[in-house]
Amino acid sequence: MTDASALGMWGVPLAILGGAIRVSTPFLFVSLGECLTERSGRINLGLEGTLVIGAMTGYAMSYHSGSPFIGVASAALAGLVFGLIHGWLCSFRHVNDIAVGISMMIVGLGLAFYFGKPYIQPTAPRLPSISFGWWSDIPQVQAALQVNVLFIAGAVLAFLMAWMFRNTRIGLTVRVVGDSTDAARTLGIRPTRVRVLATAVGGAFAGVGGSYLSLYYPGSWSEGIASGQGLMAVALVIFARWNPINCFWAALLFGGAGAIGPALQSVGITQGYYLFYAAPYVLTLGILVATSSTERAMTGAPGEMSITK
Amino acid sequence: MTNISQNEAAASGRPPALPSWVIARIEALAIPVFALIAGAALFSLFLMTQGKSPQEFFALVWRAAFSSAFSWKNTLSHVSPLLMAALCVAIPARLGLMVIGGEGAIILGGLAAAVVGASCGSIPAFFGFAAMVVAAFVVGGVWIGTVGALRVKRGVNETISSLLMAYIATAIFNQLVESVFRDPASLNKPATMPIPDALRVTDLPFLSTHWGVPVGIVICIACYFLLERTTIGFAARVTGDNIRAAQIQGLPVSRLVIGFTGLAGGLAGLGGFFEVSAIYGNANDSLISGVGNTGILVAFLARHNPLAIIPVALLLGGFEASSGLVQRRMDLPDATILVFEGCIFILVLLSETLYGRSDSLIRKILFAGRSK
């Protein structure tokens, strides 16, 4: 805390920047996963549960194997399974994807808390980070520019996904299925299969996002580890207009909002802590209110998605 | 036409056709029961993979929740908020809205009741109660009514907005309880000033449960009549079935949505009032109990029918009540009940696909042996 005085109030925006990079990674992965799923015409509200399952699995496997990367891989696998189940359940007639999402959220939380109980105490190896602050002597700058490998991977993934949607056969298939089931059928594509796969891969991304929570920041497994990031990611994708690169910027913005509370706390402002803590939710709601409309369909929205129909 | 088809059916030896409303009634009862049993079976499989005995689990649930007067008291204490939380999902569902953030209305309604109650010690108890109920209802109603208003005025998805608002409600609750409304005497666990004894909801005479349960049951019945037997309820259901048709018919869709979501939130707020006044005596973070999640399951299992909510809430209240005994006796984590509820929830949603398809199956079962 003594160092904070050296920077004065400048410590706050710096801490927010550093926090944005730190906090945004789970948002980034979940929103990329949700973006892929929604582009195929489904919505997966269960990613909140997948996030927690990913956090638990990642932590447990990192603890048992000694390698955080095995943890991340197993978290992705767990997310893949959850996505597959969600996609499969939604393939039945009259089964509502939003309701299934809510139930998967409850199942995910239940299973994660059930199996996660023994891992609350032990310490698992954490993910490494890369220092981009070597040029500066100020510890805050160095701390803010500690960038985790998963953040970089997420950023690359965002650009890769944008490229995939535009230029590859897979991307085009997903987009066609999302925009019109009939058109997809005409082209000889099986819409249900594409949607199930898109939901599964989306779930895997969310699982990776979850493993970041337990393996880097906040960096331990507890039952309160996720607090709505999975849900906010759904809103974030709408805000990003289903564009992966916009998802990246939106995730940074949300991460910044999430970092306001801790940043103010680090310079000794503790008044209204809970309200600052609520900043990401208020921001999400505000963005939803500002960008939704009853009059016009949203630009860029996949035509088959229940939420925009 | 029916005569001909029945004759044909008799001639060909197939079981005769049933009127569609009979099929619908049988489905409405049989499919949720089937889903419940299938969910329990899925959970039993899960328990077996964990090396635990499903028989022991269900026997313990029965013992802890339904076997004695003491266990019924335990169960009923969980039922009161469940009824209200479920109504907060079921009422908007009839308008085609999936509002699942009822927890926010419960905790803010409870906070409002606690704050008003603590400052109403000097006026007659009747007015004190009235003030608490109104405060809880209004705060809860405004909270969820806002979700409805955002939906009709701005097209904001109600599922996401209600959940976000539940998180915001938690933050507001914690902030207020730890600052403005904090009882200085509450050291380790921040709480509001205690409600005077005159304003505590008492237990029912001869029964070991508080007034929240019978009031909740009466409200469920009233909501059933409101939705099924009044013109306003009919207008709400038309809106839920087809919003464009409702608009073309000239129904006041915006007012219906805001009014019914407001009612739903108000009832959830009332649930918070009973929790605070009957059980805690002040507002503290025990109020944030996750009862909203269980309420979602109750509403879906009851297929958003307020009458069906009553038995389903009793059942799930029993599950919640047995959590402690199951934990201790079987050495299972407290999340076990959550896994159980999740299993049932998934099967309930999956069973939606059976409606309208089970016609021939029902006929086969009913007329088994009679067709030859």
With cut-offs at 50, 70 and 90, classify the pLDDT of residue B188: confident
The answer to whether the Cβ–Cβ distance between B349 and A103 falls below 8 Å is: yes
**Mean pLDDT calculated for residue range A24-28:** 92
**Mean pLDDT calculated for residue range A107-126:** 91
- Which residues of chain A lie closer than 8 angstroms to B342, CB-CB? 103-104, 106-111
According to the model, what pLDDT value does residue B13 have?
A: 55
Residue A121 has pLDDT above 60, yes or no: yes
The answer to whether the Cβ–Cβ distance between A292 and B156 falls below 8 Å is: yes
pLDDT cut 90: percent of chain A above it: 53
**Mean pLDDT calculated for residue range B60-76:** 90
Residue A186 has pLDDT above 60, yes or no: yes
- Which residues of chain A lie closer than 8 angstroms to B98, CB-CB? 96, 98-99, 102
Residue B206 has pLDDT above 80, yes or no: no
Q: B157, B247, B319, B357: best mutation site toward chain A, by most A Cβ within 10 Å?
A: B157
According to the model, what pLDDT value does residue B15 have?
A: 62
With cut-offs at 50, 70 and 90, classify the pLDDT of residue A1: very low
Which of A 205-264 lie inside 8 A of B, CB atoms?
Answer: 227-228, 231-232, 234-235, 238
Q: Where are the domains of chain A?
A: 28-243
Which of A 281-300 lie inside 8 A of B, CB atoms?
Answer: 281-282, 284-285, 288-289, 292-295
Q: A103, A223, A264, A294: best mutation site toward chain B, by most B Cβ within 10 Å?
A: A103
With cut-offs at 50, 70 and 90, classify the pLDDT of residue B179: confident
Residue A32 has pLDDT above 80, yes or no: yes
- For chain B, the average pLDDT equals 89
DSSP A9: G
Q: A82, A114, A306: best mutation site toward chain B, by most B Cβ within 10 Å?
A: A114
According to the model, what pLDDT value does residue A209 have?
A: 95
According to the model, what pLDDT value does residue A36 have?
A: 95
SS (H, E, C) chain B: CHHHHHHHHHHHCCCCCCCHHHHHHHHHHHHHHHHHHHHHHHHHHHHHHCCCCHHHHHHHHHHHHCCCHHHHHHHHHHHHHHHHHHHHHHHHHHCCCCCCCHHHHHHHHHHHHHHHHHCCCCCCHHHHHHHHHHHHHHHHHHHHHHHHHHHHHHCCCHHHHHHHHHHHHHHHHHHHHHCCCECCCCCCCCEECCCCHHHCCCECCCCCCECHHHHHHHHHHHHHHHHHHCHHHHHHHHHHHCHHHHHHCCCCHHHHHHHHHHHHHHHHHHHHHHHHHHHHCCCEHHHCCCHHHHHHHHHHHCCCCHHHHHHHHHHHHHHHHCHHHHHHHHCCCCCHHHHHHHHHHHHHHHHHHHCCCCHHHHHHHHCCCCCC
Closest CA to A235 of A287, A298, A158: A287
Which of B 252-311 lie inside 8 A of A, CB atoms?
Answer: 293, 296-297, 300
Residue A219 has pLDDT above 60, yes or no: yes
Q: Does B150 touch chain A (CB under 8 A)?
A: yes
According to the model, what pLDDT value does residue A298 have?
A: 66
Q: How far is CA A36 from the centre of its chain?
A: 12
With cut-offs at 50, 70 and 90, classify the pLDDT of residue A6: low
Closest CA to B107 of B73, B78, B144: B144
According to the model, what pLDDT value does residue B12 have?
A: 53
**A148 backbone dihedrals φ, ψ, rounded to 5°:** -75, 150
Looking at CATH, the fold of the domain delimited by B69-321 is given as: ABC transporter involved in vitamin B12 uptake, BtuC (1.10.3470)
Residue B202 has pLDDT above 60, yes or no: yes
Which residue among B152, B168, B352 places its CB closest to the CB of A282?
B168
**Mean pLDDT calculated for residue range B295-312:** 93
- Among B111-125, B291-305, B347-361, the range scoring the smallest mean pLDDT is B347-361
Look at residue A180 and give its three-state secondary structure: coil
Over the stretch A242-283, which tens digit does the pLDDT of each residue have? 999 999 999 998 888 888 877 777 777 777 778 888 888 898
Q: B27, B164, B319: best mutation site toward chain A, by most A Cβ within 10 Å?
A: B164
Alpha carbons B1 and B7: distance in angstroms, whole number: 10
DSSP A124: P
Residue B8 has pLDDT above 60, yes or no: no
- For chain A, the average pLDDT equals 87
**Mean pLDDT calculated for residue range B287-315:** 92
- Whether A33 and A300 have beta carbons less than 8 Å apart is answered as no
With cut-offs at 50, 70 and 90, classify the pLDDT of residue B1: very low
Q: How far is CA B173 from the centre of its chain?
A: 22
According to the model, what pLDDT value does residue A246 have?
A: 93
- Which residues of chain A lie closer than 8 angstroms to B353, CB-CB? 92-95
With cut-offs at 50, 70 and 90, classify the pLDDT of residue A296: low
According to the model, what pLDDT value does residue A128 have?
A: 87
Q: Does B153 touch chain A (CB under 8 A)?
A: yes
Over the stretch B106-163, which tens digit does the pLDDT of each residue have? 999 999 999 999 998 888 989 999 999 999 999 999 999 999 999 999 888 898 899 8
- Whether B43 and B339 have beta carbons less than 8 Å apart is answered as yes
Which of B 198-257 lie inside 8 A of A, CB atoms?
Answer: none
Distance from CA of B104 to the nearest CA of A (A): 13
With cut-offs at 50, 70 and 90, classify the pLDDT of residue B2: very low
Distance from CA of A256 to the nearest CA of B (A): 17
- Among B17-21, B270-274, B302-306, B325-329, the range scoring the smallest mean pLDDT is B17-21
Q: Between B174 and A238, name the one with better pLDDT.
A: B174
According to the model, what pLDDT value does residue B290 have?
A: 83
Q: Where are the domains of chain B?
A: 69-321
Residue A30 has pLDDT above 90, yes or no: yes
**Mean pLDDT calculated for residue range A160-188:** 93
With cut-offs at 50, 70 and 90, classify the pLDDT of residue A305: confident
